[in-house]
Structure 1
Amino acid sequence: MTVSKSGADVNDWGRNETEEERADRKWGELIQEVRVAQTGVQILFGFLLTVVFQQKYASLAQTDKTIYIITVILGAATTGALIGPVSLHRLVSGQRVKAEAVQWASRMTLTGLILLLATMTSSLLLVLRVATHNAIVPWIVSAVVAWYALCWFVVPMWTLRRHSSR
Structure 2
Amino acid sequence: MAPLAALARTRMMAGGTAAEVAEGLGEGVTAVDVGWVTAGDLAPALDAVAWELEVDGVAEATAARGGLHVLKMLERTPATVQPFEDVRDAIQQEERNRLFSEEYDLYMTELADAAYIVERLPEEAKGYRPVESPSLDADALGLLAPFAPGAQAPEVEESPGEAAEESSAETAEEADGQP
Q: TM-score, normalised by structure 1?
A: 0.19
Greater relative contact order (Cα < 8 A, sep 6+)? 1
More helix by share: 1
Q: TM-score, normalised by structure 2?
A: 0.18
